Amino acid sequence: MRVLLVENHAFTLTTLTAALSGWNLDVRGCSAAREALREVADFVPEVAVLDLDLGTGPSGLDLAIELRRRFPNVGIVLLTSYRDARLHSSGIRPLPQGGIYLCKADLSDFHVLIDAIHAVRHAPLVTRRLAFGPQGASAVLTDSLVEILVAIATGSTTAQIAATRGVSASAVEKSIARICEQLDIAKDPNLNQRVQLSRMYNHLRELDGA
């Protein structure tokens, strides 16, 4: 089986490449999306195992979508530290149909990854239960609220968020109030609300193991 592995941490890439090769898989390892797209010119993958966060440039999810466009039957396994992928970036797109989303913290047994690879190879387009969706402490937030939380944490002003979303500034403020309510963020007279939200965002990412 030809497996494309894309992981931007050198140690993890080397370790996973060796481990997967030990299961008699033909593994081509890459550290970035653009490198992977060059590799597939002469290496047509049957399965792609992709880290979500690939650093600067396209994410693993962007790469998954492009690979599925080029190879309609490629199996997709998205392997990442995030329990809730929505915390990775604002407006994250759905995983391609049939893909499996695996949290690294759940890989106590390497067979979990091997089973996922075989599952997407043999049925790359099947609808899978719980293949991709919010988990962890941030699951209480709607997609819209997560997008606003990510935008605040990455430095966007209320006016910028409102302009991007095509709503009023007062609507954004109401959404911010809902975020604080649902995440139990109490008002602190000694802290700016944006600082509190940014700290909560970083805390949620740490809980995810990101």
> Does residue 134 surpass a pLDDT of 60?
no
pLDDT at residue 29 tops 60: yes
pLDDT one-digit tens code per residue, 171-183:
999 999 999 998 8
pLDDT tens digit sequence for 153-202: 888 999 999 999 999 999 999 999 999 998 888 877 778 888 889 888 88
Q: Which residue did the predictor score with more confidence, 206 or 76?
A: 76
**Residues 38-51, mean pLDDT to the nearest whole number:** 94
Do the domains at 2-122 and 137-208 have one common CATH topology? no
User: Quick one: which of 12, 17, 23 has its CA closest to 39?
Assistant: 17
SS3 176: helix
CATH superfamily of 2-122: Response regulator (3.40.50.2300)
pTM reported for the whole predicted model: 0.72
Q: What is the token pair recorded at 82?
A: 């995030």
137-208: what fold? Arc Repressor Mutant, subunit A (1.10.10)
- Residue 27: alpha-carbon gap to chain centroid: 22
Mean of the pLDDT values across residues 46-56? 92
Burial class (CB in 10 A: 0-12, 13-18, 19+), 193: middle
Are 136 and 207 in contact by the 8 Å Cβ rule? The answer is yes
Identify any residues that bridge with 4 across adjacent strands, giving them in sequence order: 28, 48
Domain ranges of the chain: 2-122, 137-208
CA distance 92 to 87: 9
pLDDT given at position 131: 46
